[in-house]
């Protein structure tokens, strides 16, 4: 049986997400490769799906087609109840195409200015898709959610995106105030990965058994 790790393409150009995925998979024999490493000249995937699942599938299928590697993709975002679920799939560009995290956070606070509730309910959602080019193209899909509310003041220096404004209900602190291990236990991405682990372990076992 080969002792080589499984080479896995993480179909994201978001550095924060890549760091989290590598941390979540650190205890498995997996070599996580980024889009920049594997497909540096490939054009970005147009994420025009109506749902997180739509976009995750678009990225996973493009990754497999372009690289012929096992590909893990995810799409995630923030849903605020009083905003009708916005920003949702537009989380990364809530303030416009190419918006920075700070600009998106400012746009979120501006959208909530007239909302009287000082703890508007919200959640982070993540839909994760695993595609193995040897499996016939059947995707494995998992989902994770983290419930909480929006703070009117940014707190913490960790994480990325809306983390400084999102208060995790289980902790009463923003996502940006959590240590890496705490965040991985409760985050939407951590939960989606936990649900995906059995499929990844089975894939590693199959690949190992098939190799001399």
Q: What is the CB-side half-sphere exposure of residue 108 using CA atoms within 13 A? A: 35
CA 99 to mean position of chain CA atoms = 18
Angstrom distance (rounded) from CA 34 to CA 11: 7
> Catalytic: 75?
yes
Marked catalytic residue, from 4, 75, 117, 118: 75
Could you give the C-alpha distances from 149 to 25, 70, 112, 136, in angstroms and in order?
A: 28, 35, 12, 41
Whole-number CA gyration radius for the chain: 18
Sheet with 140-150, edge to edge strand ranges: 30-34, 6-10, 70-80, 121-131, 140-150, 166-168, 173-174
Angstrom distance (rounded) from CA 115 to CA 173: 21
Q: Which residues are catalytic?
A: 75
């Amino acid at each position: 049986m080969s002792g080589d790790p499984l080479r896995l393409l993480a179909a994201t150009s978001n550095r924060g997400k890549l760091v989290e995925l590598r941390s979540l998979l650190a205890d498995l024999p997996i070599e996580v490769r980024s889009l920049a490493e594997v497909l540096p000249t490939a054009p970005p995937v147009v994420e025009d799906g109506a749902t997180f699942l739509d976009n995750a599938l678009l990225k996973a299928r493009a990754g497999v087609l372009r690289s012929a590697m096992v590909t893990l993709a995810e799409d995630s975002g923030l849903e605020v109840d009083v905003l009708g679920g916005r920003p949702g799939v537009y989380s990364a560009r809530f303030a416009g195409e190419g918006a920075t995290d700070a600009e998106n956070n400012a746009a979120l606070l501006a959208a909530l200015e007239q909302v009287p509730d000082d703890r508007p309910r919200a959640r982070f959602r993540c839909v994760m898709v695993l595609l193995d080019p040897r499996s016939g193209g059947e995707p494995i899909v998992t989902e994770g959610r983290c419930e909480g509310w929006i703070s009117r003041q940014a707190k913490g220096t960790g994480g990325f995106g809306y983390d400084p404004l999102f208060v995790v209900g289980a902790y009463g602190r923003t996502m940006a105030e959590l240590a890496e291990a705490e965040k991985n236990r409760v985050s939407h991405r951590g939960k989606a990965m936990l649900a995906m682990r059995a499929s990844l372990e089975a894939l590693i076992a199959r690949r190992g058994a098939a190799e001399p």
